[in-house]
Amino acid sequence: MPRFRLSRRSMLRGTAGFAMALPALEIMSGTAHAGADIPRRYFLGFAGTSTGFPTFDYDLLKPDATGVGYDIKRALAPLADLGVREEVSVVTDLEIPWGEEGSIPAGGRHIGWHAHSTAPLISGVRSISGSNEAAAGATSEVVAADALGGDETLHRYLAYRVQAAYYRGSNGDGGNRGRITYRDEGGSIIPIDPISSPRLAYESLFTGFVPPDPAEAAEALAALRRRRSAVDLVLEDAQSLMTKLGSADQTRMERHLDELRDLERRLDEVSTPAEGACALLPDPGEDPAIGGTVENGDTNGYASGGAYSDEELRATVMTDLVAMAFTCDLTRSASLMYTMAQCFLNANPLFGQPSDIHELGHYGVGGGEVGLNAVSDGVAWHVGHWARLVQKLRDTQELDGSSVLDHTAMVLLFEGGWGFDPESGDALSVHSSENMAVLLAGRVGGLNAGGGVHISSPGSHPTQVVNTALSALGINHEMGEVSGIIDGLIG
């Protein structure tokens, strides 16, 4: 028979004094978090775009002024609109080194552009080769999950993706361009598929939650029992298969079993959302349909809504889910890939440009300042959703009155910057890992203690900002081959 037990999370959720349906939970109301007990959280966002525009020797992301109270240009406009500048630091003039096959430097990328900056950016380990875009090291949300008590939360980490499909060639061509999560399994680096369905993300996140209404709770518990019965049987079946398989398939099945066991564990974690900030979010309903492919330059295709699956809604839902996951301590580490590397997402529904974001980065609309503005709007779209999460976490109170953001470090990475392109030899290209920028939010460990700052750190590696975030979280880890943090970010 299914077993139900109260996890530490149930205890924490119960502490807010929600009017609980389950008698066993009623006894838990009234205990507040002590400050030292409040978990720390880590969030990684990724934008599959460069920040500059061809021929321009500046972008509209980098503030003119350094230090606190930095000025905000077009690409960072959401920081002002949402009132979160004081919670966000901007690190600019970063660079990922490059090299040809066989001479790629530590933490560097293959000289070919698409999409070779992503792997060193997210893992800190140099590109594998010119034909392999996968990361060669574990990524930071996995590292953080291990260090922040991922085994104590319902979800070790969340790996979500907003962009529903690749939108170029045959959908499904994205492959490693649609992933930013990798884990180290005994020296083998395994890519982790993100959840890209808001509906699945919702159902998965709130596994085990039951509503407070007694009748609804009984129904929910019965449904959970049935789910658990099914999974129990499947686990037995999977285990019995193991001895019949060859070693390669045993490895695959073991991975499947690990994930099944994790689902089983989550189905055990019955709890009721606590009163206050932790709450069961409204069901987002069915997923928006997945849009079709559009080729470069097909303005009609973009104008008629191709290459789009309502990513605006998807980003909003997933942001809400991450915020609530942190608030309810359902996880302490999450990544959200807003767009895939070489982002072919339609910009038209987002900010009125009948093109994809990748194409805008090359040709803009009309070129010149208009093009730079369009590219910056694309950057701003990513910044806006990331900043909304900053805002939500800042405005969500822990039980001791502090904000969730006080215990959180958040990073936003961009696939590229602008500057020299070693492929073409162009001095001012968007196929460049020069002049890269990273945003860092949160107040854990002294981050942004005196308000958000702009720091120019020429030649530093963008993944050093990730190191800085991990350091602020108290995690003694440096990403792959990238060592050191960015000075001046931890107050």
Partner 1 sequence: MGVLVLGGGPGCYVGSSADEDPSAGEETGDDSGNSGNSGGSDSDSDSGDPTEPPPVEVLERVGELGMRRLTAAEYSATVRDLLGVDVDAALLLPEDWRQPFDNDYTTQNASQALIDGAELLAADVAGLALEPGLRDATVGCTPAGPTDAACFQEFLARFGRRALRRPLSEDDLSRYGALISEAEETGDFYDAVDVAIRALLQHPEFLYRIEVGTPLEGVPDVFALNDYEVATRLSYMLWGSTPSDTLLDLAEDDGLSDPEGIRAAAEDMLLDERAKARVGRFHALWLGYETLPHSPDLTTAMQAETQALIDKVIFDDAMPWQELLRSSETYVDTTLAEHYGLPAPATPGWVDYADSGRRGLLSHGSFLSAMSKIDDSSPTKRGILVRTRLMCQVIPPPPPTVDVDMVEPEEGTCKEDFYVEQHLNAPGCVSCHALMDPIGLGLENYDHTGAFRTVENDDESCVITGQGELDGSPFSGPAELSELLIDSGSLNRCVAEQLYRFAMGRTELAPVDASFIDFVVEQNGAEGDFDFAALVLAFVSEDAFRYRRNEAAQ
Q: Which of residues 167-206 bind partner 1 (CB under 8 A)?
A: 169-175, 178, 188, 190-197, 199-200, 203-204
| Nearest to partner 1 of 155, 394 (CB atom) | 155
The residues in 12-31 that bind partner 1, with binding defined as CB under 8 A, are none
Please work out the total of residues on this chain that contact partner 1, with binding judged by CB under 8 A: 87
Give the closest residue to 320 by CA, choosing from 392, 380, 382. 392
Considering the complex, what minimum distance in angstroms separates the CB of residue 290 from partner 1? 7
439 makes contact with partner 1 (CB under 8 A): no
Which of 291, 349 has the CB closer to partner 1?
291
Considering the complex, state which of residue 431 and residue 443 has its C-beta at the smaller distance from partner 1: 431
Question: Least separation, in Å, of the C-beta of 428 and partner 1?
Answer: 12
Instruction: Rank residues 57 and 259 by Cβ distance to partner 1 and give the closer one.
Output: 259
Q: Residue 179 Cβ, how far from partner 1 at the closest point, in Å?
A: 10
Letters for 396-435 (x = contact with partner 1 by CB under 8 A, - = none) are: -------------------------xxxxxx--x-x----
The Cα–Cα gap between 387 and 79 comes to: 6
E strand or H helix that includes residue 394: helix 368-394
Burial grade of 333 (CB within 10 A; 0-12, 13-18, 19 or more): buried
In this chain, which of 71, 262, 369, 487 binds partner 1, going by CB under 8 A?
Answer: 262
The DSSP result for 39-71, as a single string, is PPEEEEEEE-S-S--TT-S--SSS-SS-EET--
| CA dist., res. 346 & res. 291, Å (int) | 10
Instruction: Give the residue with the Cβ less far from partner 1, 100 or 400.
Output: 100
Q: Which is nearer to partner 1, 9 or 266 (CB)?
A: 266
| Contacting range for partner 1; rule: CB under 8 A; set: 3-11, 107-115, 136-144, 346-354 | 107-115
Q: Judged by CB under 8 A, which of 14, 63, 301, 349 binds partner 1?
A: 301
Site for partner 1 in 219-238 (CB under 8 A): 222, 226-227, 229-231, 233-234, 236-238
Name the one range near partner 1 by CB under 8 A: 117-125, 243-251, 269-277, 448-456: 243-251
Cβ atoms of residues 429 and 363 within 8 Å: no
- The 10 Å Cβ neighbour count of residue 366 is 10
Minimum CB distance to partner 1, residue 316 (Å): 18
Lay out the site mask for partner 1 across 125-144 (x = CB under 8 A, - = otherwise).
-----xx-------------
- Give the C-alpha separation, 136 to 311, whole Å: 29
As a whole number of angstroms, the distance between CA 58 and CA 70 comes to 16
Cβ at position 40, least distance to partner 1 in Å: 22
Question: How big is the chain by its Cα radius of gyration, in Å?
Answer: 23
For residues 225 and 2, is the Cβ–Cβ distance under 8 A? yes
Residues 21-80 interacting with partner 1 (rule: CB under 8 A): none
C-beta closer to partner 1: residue 16 or 122: 122
Taking CB under 8 A as the criterion, the residue among 81, 93, 298, 395 binding partner 1 is 298
User: Which parts of 333-392 interact with partner 1 (CB under 8 A)?
Assistant: 362
Find the helix or strand (DSSP H, E) in which 13 lies.
helix 8-14
Binding characters for partner 1, 268-297, by CB under 8 A (x = yes): -------------------x--x-xxxxxx
Let me know if 313 is exposed, middle or buried by CB neighbors in 10 A (0-12, 13-18, 19+).
middle
Cα atoms in the Cβ-side hemisphere of radius 13 Å centred on 454: 17
Per the omega criterion (within 30 degrees of 0), is the bond before 144 cis?
no
Spatial CB neighbours of 137, under 8 Å, sequence gap ≥ 6: 123, 124, 125, 182, 184, 189, 479, 480
The span from the CA of 63 to the CA of 50, in Å, is: 16
Contact residue for partner 1 among 243, 282, 459, 476 (CB under 8 A)? 243
Distance, CA of 326 to CA of 409 (rounded, Å): 12
**Distance of closest approach, residue 250 Cβ to partner 1, in angstroms:** 5
* Binder among 26, 80, 132, 300 for partner 1 (CB under 8 A): 300
Would you say 282 or 425 has its CB closer to partner 1?
A: 425
